[in-house]
Amino acid sequence: MTAVRVRGLTRAYPARKGSDGRPHLALDAFDLTVERGEIHGLLGPNGAGKTTLCRILCTVLLPTSGTAEVLGHDVLAEADAVRRSIGIVFGGERGLYGRLTATQNLCFWAALYGLSGRDLHSRVDMLLARMGLGDRAHDRVDTMSRGMKQRLHIARGLVHDPSVLILDEPTIGMDPVAAHAFRELIEQLRAEERTVLLTTHDMQEAEALCDRVTLVDHGQVIVTESVTEVGSLLARGDRIEAAGVPDTTVLALRKLPGITSVDASDNGTVRVVPNAESGTEQALRLLVDAGVTRISTAPPTLEEVYLGLIGSRGMAVRS
Ligand SMILES: Nc1ncnc2c1ncn2[C@@H]1O[C@H](COP(=O)(O)OP(=O)(O)OP(=O)(O)O)[C@@H](O)[C@H]1O
């Protein structure tokens, strides 16, 4: 069964001041299918419509037109069933009560989902332990680090054991160690056969975690593709890395047609980015003819595809 099915989804907001007076379409005839057990990335610049989609799927925002279903339940007609099936995790500070302890926060949410008594407490204790927060269970949330709050958010999203999880910018504000732990957690969720819809600006994160990605811009789907195949969208040939490349060969590479860039470092390592398949072939031939033997090729990364299709708007930059 499909986990998330969105067809022709449109969400209009009132026209902005200074605009042409037409409603602003945050989502515009949006189609998306997320299979059960899939980790699906939703990537796009600020204002692309990702949060609007997440909010509609969680039943807290009404669509203007079109349909959205979670595990076959319509978000409008069967909102209760959708809420039981889906957990949402927001990035940043939203959604937790700072003056309450971690345990109190989770008990509150668990009670809202109808848990009580021993079930409630064992579920809360289990989730806190699982998120590595067992020793902070009785600390106020506003005394916790961002990474801890983020793990608490994830515990909150799992409190009613949903089979579909929506993670909206979950690693925002996490340091690299916390972000690494987060990736391990996603792998656990995958092993539990949960479905995850993950919005992020971080291309490396998406590439590492997702089975498929949907690139979004201006409320519309640009493309949905598996992470392993997404590089072929550029259809510009594999990137080449070579070591021990003589200076004369670097100059010759730069003169080849079908080459976007040739970056050479002082130690003779060269990275060639072609803009056509023929560019890859010619560059390889030139390197081999020059006696270079340490050569590797790789398809374009998700980051390059994003840059090619959307540009550099809203992409995370790692320091
Ligand atoms: N309540 C609202 N009223 C009017 N316009 C809104 C409202 N919420 C969102 N929008 C607009 O809808 C568009 C999509 O916003 P949305 O928050 O869904 O984008 P996003 O892809 O999640 O962006 P970000 O990456 O910044 O979170 C934006 O142009 C935004 O300004």
Q: Are 216 and 48 in contact (CB under 8 A)?
A: yes
Name which residue sits closest to atom 1 of ligand 1, judged by CA: 13
Rg (CA), the chain: 23
The CA-based angle 44-46-49, given to 5 degrees, is: 65
Helix (H, G, I), strand (E, B) or coil at 175: coil
The predicted pLDDT at position 318 comes to 42
51 C-beta closer than 6 A to ligand 1: yes
The predicted pLDDT at position 236 comes to 63
Helix (H, G, I), strand (E, B) or coil at 213: strand
Q: Which atom, in ligand 1's list, is nearest to the CA of 49? A: 18
The predicted pLDDT at position 319 comes to 34
The predicted pLDDT at position 229 comes to 76
How many CB atoms within 10 Å of residue 156?
Answer: 23
Q: Are 253 and 263 in contact (CB under 8 A)?
A: no
The predicted pLDDT at position 54 comes to 94
Mean pLDDT of the chain: 88
Residue count (the chain): 319
**Domain map (residue ranges) of the chain:** 2-231, 235-299
ipTM: 0.95
The predicted pLDDT at position 314 comes to 59
- Measure the CA–CA gap between 153 and 298, rounded to whole angstroms: 37
Candidates 16, 24, 30: which one to mutate for ligand 1, based on the most atoms within 8 Å of Cβ?
24
List, in order, residues 6 or more apart from 240 with CB less than 8 Å away.
Answer: 270, 271, 272, 274, 280, 283, 284, 287, 295, 296, 297
pLDDT tens digit sequence for 112-121: 888 899 999 9
Name which residue sits closest to atom 30 of ligand 1, judged by CA: 47
- Which of the residues in the chain have pLDDT under 70? 92-93, 173, 231-236, 312-319
Provide the pairing of β-strand 24-35 with 164-168: unpaired
Name which residue sits closest to atom 10 of ligand 1, judged by CA: 26
pLDDT tens digit sequence for 162-219: 999 999 888 776 777 777 878 888 898 999 999 999 998 888 888 888 999 999 999 9
Lay out the sheet containing 294-298: strands in order across: 259-264, 270-274, 239-243, 294-298
The predicted pLDDT at position 259 comes to 85
11 C-beta closer than 6 A to ligand 1: no
Q: Specify whether domain 235-299 bears CATH 3.40.50.920.
A: no
Candidates 6, 17, 27, 46: which one to mutate for ligand 1, based on the most atoms within 8 Å of Cβ?
46
The predicted pLDDT at position 170 comes to 80
Name which residue sits closest to atom 3 of ligand 1, judged by CA: 13
Lay out the sheet containing 164-168: strands in order across: 86-90, 164-168, 195-200, 39-43, 212-217, 220-226
Q: Specify whether domain 2-231 bears CATH 3.40.50.300.
A: yes
